[in-house]
Structure 1
Amino acid sequence: MFGAIARKLFGTANERYIKGLQKDVDAINALEADVEPLSDDELRARTDWLRKRIADGETLDDVLVDAFATVREAAKRSLGQRHYDVQLLGGIVLHRGQIAEMATGEGKTLVATLAAYLNALDGKGVHVVTVNDYLAKRDSDWMGKVFTFLGMTTSCILNEMDDVQRQEAYACDITYATNNELGFDYLRDNMKFSLETMVQRPFNFAVVDEVDSILIDEARTPLIISGPSDDSSELYGVVDSIIPHLSEDDYERDEKVKSVALSEKGMETAEVLLRDAGLLESGGLYDLSNVSLLHHVNSALRAHHIFTNGVDYLVKDGKVMIVDEFTGRVMEGRRYSDGLHQALEAKEKVAVQQENQTLASVTFQNYFRLYPKLSGMTGTAMTEAGEFAEIYKLEVVDMPTNRILARKDYDDEVYRSRGEKINAILEQIIECHERKQPILVGTVSIEQSEEISAALKKKKVKHEVLNAKQHEREAYIVAQAGVPGAVTIATNMAGRGTDIQLGGNLDMRIKTELGENPSEDKIVKIQEEIAKDKKVALDAGGLFMLGTERHESRRIDNQLRGRSGRQGDVGASKFFLSLEDDLMRIFGSERMDSMLTKLGLEDGEAIVHPWINKALEKAQQKVEGRNFDMRKQLLKFDDVMNDQRKVIFEQRREMMSTDDVSEHIQDMRHEVIDDIVDKCIPEKAYAEQWDTDSLHEEILRVFNMDLPLKDWAKEEGVANEEIRERILDETDRKMAAKVANYGEDVWRSVEKSVLLQLLDTIWKEHLLALDHLRQGIGLRAYAQRDPLNEYKAEAFNLFEEMISILRDRVITLLAHVELQVGSADEELEAFNQHADQEMTESRQDPALAADQGDSPEYGAATVRSNKPADHIDPNDQDTWGKVSRNAPCPCGSGKKFKHCHG
C-alpha cells in the first residue's frame, strides 16, 4: 500500500530514470536550429569534427548531443524521417548499454542509427544484430542511407558471402548481421590457420534488435560446427522399424519436459524385438556393450512420441527441417543433435544423413558476453528483466510511446473443448472480415494455422497464411495485414520486424507494384488509396489481434498483442482458449474442468473473467521460471567449457600472430622429458628402483632415439637430474640437426603447422569427452554430490590431460617427421591442405538441452575399431581402422590406445 502511494507521488523508478535523460533530449532539440541551415557537405563534415574531438581525448558521452543532432538531421534529409523525442531517449538508453523496451511501430530500426553512429566514431566498428537475413539486408540498405550521407561505411553479412567479402563487411563502420552469422564467423575464425584469413575484428559494441528473441529464446541452442563421424545411418532405419510394435504400456512420456523412456515391460519387449532384428546379440539393453543401441532406441522413441510433423518440424524436398518453436520459421541448416535428427529422418522415410562430431561450439549467452558493451531493443523485455540482469548484466528500461496506446485488450474466452473454441474463432474472424476490420490470427503451430485456413476456405473467406512454408513471402504478407477486411493467419511471431500499418504499407506496394523507377503520379495514387483504406480500417476498430492459444511465455503473447495499436491507432486483442490446449492440459485443467461443470457451462458457451487471466498468468510465470532455471543451469555448465574455450582460442591466436613458435615447442619438449623422467625415476628413489626399461621405451617412442640409458644409470654417483640433463642435451641436438638440415624458415613453418593442427584435433577430442561427461554427470546427484561441482572438477582434469596429450603428440610427431630436402615447401603445403575438412554448421535442439545429463541413456559406447575383429592384425597398424583413444590398444600391449600407439 505504501509502495503504491510512493509511486503516485514520485513516479516509478523507470519513470524517474526516463526523466533524468530528458535534459540530453532538450539539448539535442535546442541544437536542431543550428544544424538545419547547414549544407549537406557541412553536415557530413561534422563526422570528421566529432572523430577529431574523440581522438583529442573527449569521451563518447561528451559528444552525444552533437552526434544525435547530426544523425537526426541526416535522417530527415536521406530518409524523410525525423527522430521523435522518445526515439532520442531510446538511442541514449542503447548507448548506455541497456535494453530499450519500445512498443511495436515506435521505429526501433531508426533508433539504432543514433547509438550505432555515436559508437562507430572511435573507428572500432559496431554490429547491429537482427533475427533473419531479410531484416539484416533491409535495415542495412535502408538505414545505410543515413550513415552513407554522414560519410560512414555500412555493410551486411549474408550467408552466401565468402571470407574476402566478410572481411570487407566487418571492416566497415557499421555492420548488420544475424546472430547466427556472427556466431559462426567467430567459431570459424578460431579454426583458421593464419590471422590474415580471419574475418572479424576485436569486439566493440553490439545493438541487438529483437533482443528477447536472440538472448532468451535462442539462448538454449548452441551454435555448433561439426565434421563427419562414424556412419551408423542404416542402424537408425532398423531401430525405427521396431518402434511401431511398442504399445502405450511400453513407454512413459512426460510432455512437460519433452522426455520419453521405456518402462520395465517396454524394456523386455524392445529386447525381444531387437534380438529378432539381429541387433541385440547378447546381454540386455542396459549392458555396457549395448549402450549405443539403447541411445538409438531412445532417439527413435522421442522421434515418434514427442516430435510431431507440422509442429516441431517439416518434411520438405526430402529433408527434415526444424521449425523454430518461437517464430514458426524453418531453421535452415539447423539439425537436432544427439542422433535425434537421424531418427526423425528414419521415421519420415527420407535419406538418413551421416552423424556429425562437434568441432567447435558456443552459446549465444557466451558469444554476446564477449562484447565490451552490449545493448538491445524489443517490444517485450520487462517480463524477462531478471534474466537479462543476471545473465548479461543488462538493465531493461521501459520507454514511453510517442502517442498514447488506444488498444482495447479483452479478457480471454475459455471453452471446454477445442471444437467449440475453433467455432468461436471462426465466428470472430468472419464478423471482423464482414465489417472490414483487418484481423491478425496468431497460432502456436503450423498444424493449427492450416486447420483454421482449411475451415476459412470452406466458408469462402479470403485470407493469407503466414507460416514456415511461406517464409519467402513473409514480409509482404505482414506488411499488407492492415488492409481493410484482411485476414492474416500467422504462426506465433512469424513476420516479426515488419510493421503492420493500417491501410497497407506504402514502400512495399511501390516495390511490388511499380518496380525500380516508379512515376510520381502512380506513387501519389497509391498514397491516396492507402489513406482512404486507413480511414476505413480505423472506423472498423483498427487491427484486431486474435490469439488461438496462450503460449508458455507471457512475452510471446505480449508480442502478438503489440502488433495491434501501433502509433496511437485504435485496435483490439483477445485470446481464445480451451481446456484441451497444451498449456491448460499440462498445467492443471482438471480442476478447472470440474469447476466449469459445477457452474453448468453449456456447449459453445465460454467463461470470461479477469480471474482466469490471473490464473493463466501464474501458470505462465511458473513455466518461465522453470525455463529460466534450465537456461541458467545450462549456462553454468557451458561456462566451464567457455573458460577453457577462451584459453585455447587465445593461445591459438597468439601462435598465429608469430612466425616462430620454437621457444614454445622447446618448453613443451622439456616438459615431456620431465614427465617421462619423473614417472620412471621417482624423486629420492635408489638407482635399483629406477625403471630404466620403461624410460628407454618412452624415449624411443617419443623421440625415436636409442639412448644408452642403462649404461648411464650404472655410472657411479649419477642422479636423476643428470640423466634428465643428458636426455635434454641429446634431444636438443637432434632437433637442432633437423633445423640445420631443412632450413630455419621451413622448420619453423612445420612446427607452427603441426602445433595448430594437433591443437585442433585434440580440442575436438576434448569437446567429445566433455559431451560424454556432461551427459552422465547428472547421475552423481544420486550419491549426494553436486553435478555442477563434479563437472567442474572432472572438466579441469580432462583439460590438464588434454594439454599433456597435446605436448606428447606434438613432440612425437616433430621428432619423427622427415621431409624430402628440396621439396619441403611442397610437402608442407600438402600437409596444411590435408588439415582442411568438410564442416557442417548447425543448431542444437533446445528440448534436448533440457534433459541432457539427467539420464543414463545418452552415454556413448566405446568404439574400439570400425574394422571387424578378424580383419585386425596386431602387428599391422594399417588394419586397425579408427580406434577410440580410451580403448585398449589393438597391438595387445594392454595399455589404452592413447598411451600406446595413439
Structure 2
Amino acid sequence: MLASLARALFGTANDRSLKAYQRRVPEINALESQIRPLDDAALANKTVEFRERLAKGETLDALMPEAFAVAREASRRVLGMRHFDVQLVGGMVLHSGKIAEMRTGEGKTLVATLAVYLSALAGKGVHVVTVNDYLARRDAEEMGQLYGFLGLTTGVIVPNLPDDARRAAYAADITYGTNNEFGFDYLRDNMKFRLEDMVQRPFFHAIVDEVDSILIDEARTPLIISGPAEDSSDLYRSVDAVVAALVSDPATYDKDEKFRTVILTEEGSDRVETMLREAEVLAEGGLYDVHNIAVVHHVQQSLRAHTLFARDVDYIVRGGKVIIIDEYTGRMMDGRRYSDGLHQALEAKEHVEVQQENQTLASITFQNYFRLYPKLSGMTGTAMTEADEFAEIYKLDVVEIPTNLPVARKDEDDEIYLNEADKFAAVVRLIQEIHKGGQPILVGTTSVEKSEALSGELKRAGVPHNVLNARFHEMEATIVAQAGAPGAITIATNMAGRGTDIKLGGNVEMRIQQELAHIEDPAERDAAIAALREEVASNQKIVREAGGLYVIGTERHESRRIDNQLRGRAGRQGDPGNSRFFVSLQDDLMRIFGSERMTGMLQKMGMQEGEAIVHPWLNKALERAQKKVEARNFDMRKNTLKYDDVMNDQRKEVYAQRREYMLESDVATTVSEMREELIHALTERRIPEKSFAEQWQSTELQDDVQRILNLDLPIVDWSREDGMDREQVAARIADEAAKAQAVRTVNFGPDIMRFIEKQILLTTFDGVWKEHLHALDQLRQGIGLRAYGQKDPLNEYKHEAFQLFTFMLDEMRERVVSLIARVEVAPPLDLEPSANIAEFHPDPGVPGLASEPVAMSVGDAAPTLVTMEPPGSGAILPDDPSSWGETPRNGLCPCGSGKKYKHCHGRHV
C-alpha cells in the first residue's frame, strides 16, 4: 500500500527517468531553426566541427543537443523521416548506456541513428548489433546513406567475408553486423599469429537491436569455435539403431520435459546393454565400465535425440542436413550445430550423413563478450519483463518510452479449451469470420509443425493464406511486408526480430521493388509507382475501417516477451487493431508448467470438449506459468555465466599474454626465462632440498634433461663431485642449454631463430589452451555430482579449474623449451587454411575460419617446424660480426659464448 502511495505521489523510477530526458527535448527542438537553413555542405561540415571540438576537450554529452539536431535534419533530407520527440528521448537513452523499450512500429532503427552518430564522432568505432544478416545489410545500406551524407563511413559484417574486408568494415566509423559475427571475430582474432592480421579495433560502444533476443534468449549457450575430433560416425549409427528400438517402450526411460532431461531406467539400462552386445558394440565388460564410457555418452545423446527433439519443431531436414530451428524466431540456423555429439545423434536418427565431431578451440558467452564494451546500450519492444536480469548481469537499466500516438489496439482475453483439436477448430472459425470483413490477419504459431497443421485446416476450409516459417525462410520480407493488405492471412512461426513492419494496406516500397523492377522506361515507371501508391492508400483506408490488423496467437509461448512481440505487430503508430490468444490444456506451457490445480478446477466446473472459458483470472494464471519458465531460464543463464566467469578470467589472461607475445619482435628473453624456470623445476623435483647426494634422483634427472632439453649431460658423474649442490647442478644445466641454443642461433641465423621461437611460442600456447578448454569441458560435465558429497559444485569447479590452469602453464613451458631444443627448419611450403574449423552457437557452428596457425609436425625424436618465408636466410659466421645482421640486445650473442648480446659483443654498441 505504501509503495502504491509513493508511486502515486512521486511516480515510478521510469517516470522520473523519462522526465529527466524529456527536459532536454525543447533544447534540441530550439536548435532546428538554426540547423534547417544550412545548405547540405554546411550541414555535413558540422561533423568536422564536432570532431574538432572533441579534440579540444569537449565531451559527447555537451555535444548531444547539437548532434541530435544535425542528425534529425540530415534524416529529414536524406531519408525523408524526421525524428519524433519520443524518438529523441530514445536516442538519449541509448547514448546514456541504457535500454530503450519502444513498441513495435515506433521506429527503433531510426532512433539508433541519433546515438550512433554522436558516438561515432569520437572516431573509435560504433558497433550496431542486429539479430540476422538481412537486417544488418538492410540497416547498413539505408542508414548508411544518412551517415555518408554527414561524412561518416559505414561497414557491414556478414558471414564468409574475407579478413581484408572485415578489417575495413571494423575500421569504419559505424559497423553493422550480427551478434554471432562480432563474437566469432573476437575469438578468431585471438587465434591469429600477427597483430596486423587481427580485424577488430579496441571496443568502444555497442548498440544492440532486439536486445532481449540477443542478450537474454541467445545467452543460454556460448559461442564456440571448434576443430575436428575423432570420427565416431559408425558408432552413432549403431547406437541409434539400438535406441530407436528401445524408445517405443516408455518403461525404459524417465523423461522430464520441464528440465529437458532424460535418463535410462534400470530396465532400460539392462536392455540397452544386451542389445549393444548383440550389435557387437560392447566388446567386453558392462555398459558402465570405465573403458565403455564413450558408448554411454553416445547412448545418452541418442536417447535425447529421440525423446526430447522433434522434427519440424526443434529442427528440420533439408538437403540431407539436419538444420536447427531458432525457438525464438522460427528461423533456420543453417551451418549451426548442436555440440557434444547431439547433432550427430540427430543425423543418425534422421538417417542422413553423420558428420565428424568437433573439439573446442575457443569459446565465450554473449554475457562476457558484450561486457567487454566500455559502453553498451540496446533497444527492443519488450525488455521490462527482463529488467532484473539486465540490471544484474549487464548493469543495464531499462527505460520504457511512451508511444508517439496512443495505442488503439484492443487486447482481448485468452480463450482456453480442453484439447488442441477444439482450439484449432475455434481459430479456423474466427479466421473465417474476420476474413469476411476484409480485415488482415496475422496468426502466430510456436513451431513449423503447428503452422503447417493450421495451414492444412485452412486449406480444407478453402481459406487463402501465406505461411512464414523455416521452410519458407527466403520469402520472409515479402510475406511480412504484405501481411497488412486487405483480407491477407499470414501464418507465422514466431515474430521476434523480423525487422520488417506490417503496414496497413501493404508496404508500398516493397511492392515497387517486386512488381515494377522490370519497367525501364522512366515515364512508364513513374506512372506505375503513382498508381501503386494510390492503390495502397486506398487499401489502407479499407483496412482501417475494417478494424486494422487482427493478431491471433494459437498458443502461449514460454516467454511473455515473445507473445508481446506478436501482439505488438498490431496497433503500430496509433493504428487500430485487435489481438487474441487461444490456449488448450494440451499445450506445452500448460502441460509442463501450468498449475495442476487450474486443470482440475476447469474439469470439475464441467468444462466440455468444444467449449471455451474466457476470464481475466485465467490470463493471470497463464502469466504466472510464464513467469515460472522465465525464472527457470534466468537461473540457467546465471548458472552458465557463473561457470563461464571462471573461464573468462583465464581467457582474459591467456589472450592478454598472447597479445604481448605478438607485440614483441624478439621473444628470446621470454624463451630463455622459460628454460631457466624449467631447469630449476626439474632439479627441485629430482634433488630434494638439503638432501645428500645418495638421495638424489640423478639418473632420472639426466633422463629428463635428455628428453626435454635434448642434452646428454653427465649429471650422475656431477653428483659424485665433492661440494656439489642443487644450485650448482641447475647452473651447469642452464649453462649447457644456453650454449646449445647459441649454437642453434648461429647455425640458423638470428633472424630465423627469432622467427622460429615466436612461432613455436604462439603455436604451443594455442595447443595447450585448446587442451585446457577440453579439460574444463570434461570437468564441467561431472562437477554437479559433487553436490551429493555436500560440496558446492561451483567452488569445486573454481578450485580445480585453477589447478588445471597452473598445469597448463607448466605444460606450455616444457613443450616450448623441448621444441626449441629439437627444432629443424624445413623448406617453406604453401600452406592451405584448414577447412575443418567450425563455429558454434547455441552449441552451434558456422563453417569457415579465415586464418590458420602455422603448421607444425612434432615427432618424438626430431620435431620439425614448417615455416612461412622466414626473414633473412644468409649464413651466420660466429667469427664474422659483419654476418650477424641486426642482433637483438636481449638475444644470445651469435659468437657462441652463451651470453646475451648486450653483455658480450654488444656491450659497447
Asked if these proteins are the same fold (TM beyond 0.5), I'd say yes
Matched, 1:61 2:67: no
SS for the counterpart of 2:216 is helix
Kindly state the Cα deviation for residue 876 of structure 1 after the two structures are TM-superposed: 11
- In the TM superposition, residue 597 of structure 1 has moved relative to its aligned partner by 2.6
Cα 1:837–1:507 shift into 2, 3 Å: closer
SS at match of 1:322: strand
* Distance apart, 1:589 and its partner CA: 5.4
> CA shift at 1:603, angstroms?
2.8
8 Å CA contact 2:823, 2:862 repeated in 1:
no
Letter matched to residue 179 of structure 1:
N
Task: State the alpha-carbon separation in 2 of the partners of residues 528 and 607 from structure 1.
Answer: 44
Note if 1:651 corresponds to 2:653.
no
Q: Equivalent residue for 1:379? A: 381
In 1: Cα distance, 2:832 partner to 2:134 partner: 37
Q: Quick check: 1:579–1:589 contact (8 Å CA) kept in 2?
A: no
Q: For residues 538 and 404 of structure 2, what CA distance do their matches in structure 1 show?
A: 24
**1:428 matched residue in structure 2:** 430
Indicate how the Cα distance of structure 1 residues 495 and 449 shifts in structure 2: closer, same or farther if over 3 A, else same: farther
Hey, what does 2:100 align to over in structure 1?
100
What is aligned with 1:855?
Answer: none
Which residue of 708, 714, 717 corresponds with 1:711? 717
Q: Which amino acid aligns with 1:840?
A: A
Contact 1:224 1:360 in 2 (8 A): yes
Partner residue, 1:869: none
Q: Give the corresponding residue for 2:744.
A: 738
Q: Distance in 2 between matches of 1:290 and 1:627?
A: 33
Q: CA deviation at 1:459?
A: 1.2
1:296-350 deviations in Å (ceiling 9; x for gaps): 1111111111110000000000000000111111112110111111111111110
Is 1:72 matched with 2:72?
yes
Question: Could you list the per-position Cα deviations for residues 459-489 of structure 1 after superposition, in whole angstroms to 9, with x for gaps in the alignment?
Answer: 1111110001111111111111111111000
In structure 2, the residue matched to 1:774 is 780
Counterpart mapping for 1:221-232 below 5 A = 221-232=221-232
CA contact (8 A) 1:474 1:495 kept: no
Residue 613 of structure 2 aligns to a residue whose secondary structure is: coil
User: Who is 1:453 aligned against?
Assistant: 455
TM-score (norm 2): 0.91
**Residue 610 (1) aligns with residue 605 (2):** no
- Counterpart selection for 2:273 from 271, 282, 288: 271
User: Map of 1:144-543 to 2, 5 A cutoff?
Assistant: 144-246=144-246, 247-493=249-495, 496-515=498-517, 519-543=525-549
| In structure 1, distance between residues paired with 2:576 and 2:202 | 46
1:466–1:494 contact (8 Å) kept in structure 2: no
- SS of equivalent residue, structure 1 residue 670: helix
Deviation, structure 1 residue 11: 2.0
Show the counterpart of 2:32: 32
Q: Deviations over 1:434-454 (max 9, x none)?
A: 111111101001000000101
Hey, what's the Cα distance between the residues in 1 that align with 2:297 and 2:862?
30
Give the letter for the 1:384 counterpart.
Answer: E
Alpha-carbon distance, 1:845 to partner? 4.3
**Alpha-carbon distance in structure 2 between the residues aligned to 1:716 and 1:2:** 87
The one-letter amino acid paired with 1:722 is Q
**Structure 2: how far apart are the matches of 1:513 and 1:267?**
61
Instruction: State yes or no: 1:85 paired with 2:106.
Output: no
> How far off is 1:539 after superposition?
1.1
Q: Residues 845, 574 of structure 1: CA spacing in aligned structure 2 closer, same or farther, 3 A cutoff?
A: farther
8 Å contact kept, 1:43–1:150: yes
- Residues 1:843 and 2:829 are matched in the alignment: no
- Residue aligned with 1:556, SS: helix
CA deviations on 1:363-383 (whole Å, 9 max, x unpaired) are: 111111111100000000000
Alpha-carbon distance change, 152 to 540 in structure 1, aligned in 2, over 3 angstroms: same
1:392-425 per-position Cα deviation (integer Å, ceiling 9, x unaligned) = 1111000111011111111110011111101100
Q: State the one-letter code of the partner of 2:707.
A: R
Compared CA separation, residues 834 and 542, structure 1 to 2 (3 A):
closer
Alpha-carbon separation, structure 1, partners of 2:409 and 2:210? 22
Partner of 1:890 in structure 2? none
Q: Does 1:762 align with 2:764?
A: no
Partners of 1:239 and 1:765 in 2: CA distance = 28
Deviation at 1:598, TM superposition (A): 2.4
Following superposition, the deviation at residue 658 of structure 1 comes to 2.1
Distance 2:136 2:593 in 1: 38
Counterpart Cα distance in 2 of 1:876 and 1:46 = 67
State the distance in 2 between where 1:547 and 1:435 align: 20
Q: Please tell me whether residue 137 in structure 1 is matched to residue 143 in structure 2.
A: no
Uncovered stretches (5+) of structure 2, i.e. residues with no partner: 845-858, 864-909
Amino acid at match of 1:732: A
Offset, 1:717: 1.4
Give the Å deviation of 1:590.
4.0
Measure, in 2, the Cα distance between the counterparts of 1:185 and 1:558. 33
Specify whether residues 41 and 413 from structure 1 end up closer, same or farther in structure 2 by C-alpha distance, changes over 3 A only. Answer: same
Is the deviation greater in 796-805 or in 520-529? Answer: 520-529
Is 1:807 paired with 2:813?
A: yes
Given that residues 467 and 494 in structure 1 are in contact (C-alpha distance below 8 angstroms), is that contact kept between their aligned partners in structure 2?
no
Flag the 1:800–1:835 CA change in 2: closer, same or farther, 3 A: farther
Root mean square deviation, CA, Å = 1.7
Secondary structure at 2:37 match in 1? coil
2:885 aligns to what?
A: none
Q: Which moved more, 1:14-23 or 1:106-115?
A: 14-23
Contact 1:478-1:495 at 8 Å conserved across structures: no
Letter in 1 for 2:682: I
Among 622, 626, 631, which residue is 1:620 paired with?
A: 626
Q: Which residue is equivalent to 1:886?
A: none
1: distance between equivalents of 2:376 and 2:599? 47
Query: What is the aligned partner in structure 1 of residue 904 from structure 2?
Result: none
Identity %: 60
Q: Matched residues in 2 for 1:493 and 1:471: separation?
A: 12
Q: 1:835 to 1:539 in 2, by over 3 A?
A: closer
Aligned AA (1:639):
D
| Matched AA of 2:89 | L
1:592 aligns to what SS in structure 2? helix
Q: Which shifted more, 703-712 or 779-788?
A: 703-712
Q: Which amino acid aligns with 1:138?
A: R
Superposed displacement of residue 537, structure 1: 0.9
Q: TM-score, normalised by structure 1?
A: 0.92
1:178 Cα offset (Å) = 0.6
Question: Displacement, 1:524?
Answer: 2.0
Tell me which amino acid in the other structure corresponds to 1:9.
L
Letter in 1 for 2:129: V
Task: Indicate if the aligned counterparts of 1:417 and 1:579 stay in contact, CA closer than 8 A.
Answer: yes
Query: How far apart in 2 are the matches of 1:809 and 1:10?
Result: 66
Shift of 1:837: 6.2
Partner residue of 1:854? Answer: none
The range that moved more, 773-782 or 512-521, is 512-521
State the AA in 2 paired with 1:306: L
